[in-house]
Structure 1
Amino acid sequence: MSIGSHSFSPGGPNGIIRSQSFAGFSGLQERRSRQGFSPLFCSLCRCNSFIENSSALKKPQAKVKKMHNLGHKNSTTPKEPQPKRMEDVYRALKNGLDEYLEVHQTELDKLTAQLKDMRRNSRLGVLYDLDKQIKAVERYMRRLEFHISKVDELYEAYCIQRRLCDGASKMKQAFAMSPASKAARESLTEINRSYKEYTENMCTIEAELENLLGEFCIKMKGLAGFARLCPGDQYEIFMRYGRQRWKLKGKIEVNGKQSWDGEEMVFLPLIVGLISIKVTEVKGLATHILVGSVTCETKDLFAARPQVVAVDINDLGTIKLNLEITW
């Protein structure tokens, strides 16, 4: 069952949204120069809050590994555009950005009301600090709105190229069925050239939008297996997302706790690509027993608040991988 079919219920006071159990989220160039684009996601859409002092979204304390060196972007753009996937990711991204904007609008309203109440009986220093927080929220919201406009601008350009590409494709089919002639061959050659140009433009825009997707911070919360997990059991978990990799090993302790050699990883989102997870049990130096593997959808991870998800690793759902994912 995909994460797209899951509804997340609000969590506790820590702002974490918890999901019910599910069987996975769904059972290209290099980081280009930021010239012409907002640097918003360098500071805004990381794993921490848009604002350092925001209580809604908290900055991870542990040191986080990053997979930038494994090449989130390919050195060349993909050869074939993926318009359906592009549309899905764009819609999910817009929803996530709108949610972020709503979160900070709520924060701004709260701070503004607090400032109004405190003006009568508070020290100037306290008012000054509160006013600084309000200005910081307003500044980030303006940057966020600009970032949203860049995303919309890219997608509008993509839709234009897509319509041109569809038109060229239909003309190719029409000329292919028409009687052969020199003029028809010349026209078909020109149409093929235009079709190639439109598809290349679409692929380039897809790569540019990837640079605006931010980061996914994935935090390991442990395995859950009820009677399946015994003290002394050792497991390996391998995650792959495009060219990005994360491999970690863990052991079930006598007291039921789990120790893992990795806690957090940052993956850079892709337009095309799902997260694959494989869990194996280590029985000896060269003996690995496959517990299960699952492919996970990512487009529903564009959310303003952290999400705690339980991934069903095997078909029966007796082994689950608990992850906390922050965009």
Structure 2
Amino acid sequence: MSTNITLASGVDRIHLVRHISWAIYKLIGSQLWGLYNLVKNKNILVKSSNVKFKITIKSGAHGLRLGYYPEKKGAKLADLIICKTKINMGYFKLCLYPGHFPPQEYEVHFAELENLMAVFLPVSYAEMYEHAKVSYIELASDNGSQKMGTFLVSRPKVVQSSRFLEKDGSLGTHYLGAKNGVRRDRIYDKNRQMAKIGKSRLGTWTRFEVSIRNTGLHVWELGEKLGNPFLSMHVADLAKAYSFTNDVVLLNFLKYSESVGTATALKHQMPKYKVAARKLLKLARATWWKPVSVGKFLQTAFEQFTPQPSSYVLV
């Protein structure tokens, strides 16, 4: 039996969008510039912590983006974005990146951001939580025991898959689903990705990631209506699959799946072999893949977006 080590599961990023009037659009833009100048001039103190903020701002023809960093040399926690539409309306987008921080650290930083919004903006986080829709969400489950190249991932009714080719010629991220589709899965070596920015860790670090666009859901509906997308992600043990067949066509299917993913490999099979290939993947199910357990972590992760009381003061 394969040993399984789950490192973490949760929300890596989430985008909330709310349509706003032209008057609110202009007011938010003015306040974001004002917040940027106040922080730049060190006119804000926070009662509850010694966090030193860093805020960046970028304006363009169609809107404004404010980047929020809890610490000057740390990771980004959020982007606050306003964009114009063609009918003198606009929308306010709040992009949160909880995956950039350990859970307890994120909770502290997130509370500070909530307070800033309550003080400076006409649209508070509590209002975004209540009324905004989730336009994009990334869910992640990290595994510390199973390396890339030792398993195959599939999902029912998905007809597109691919593997990214690294500069050194090795196979990288496994993509499952269309690039601009409603849902796309990514499975990759997280350690390899983080090594590029000097933040790798010892041991295996494989990420299973689900991204979903235009959910049509409020944040508070995620737990009930989004459910657990990992349940539809099927994982097969590659060595086991090879050991279960001597059929040349199926062996070639497995080899091809390693380089292009199972969905694309299935498209190139004759109908009778598509059925046989699917049965083989099911027979070789990886016993270490436990999506039900991942779902339990997700419910807790969704709760971290519940609004908290405000405690900011200006000096």
TM-score by length of structure 2 reads 0.29
Compare relative contact order (CA 8 Å, sep 6+) and give the higher one, 1 or 2: 1
Q: Per residue, is there more strand in 1 or in 2? A: 2
Q: Decide which structure has greater helix share.
A: 1
Computing the radius of gyration from Cα coordinates, the structure with the larger value is: 1
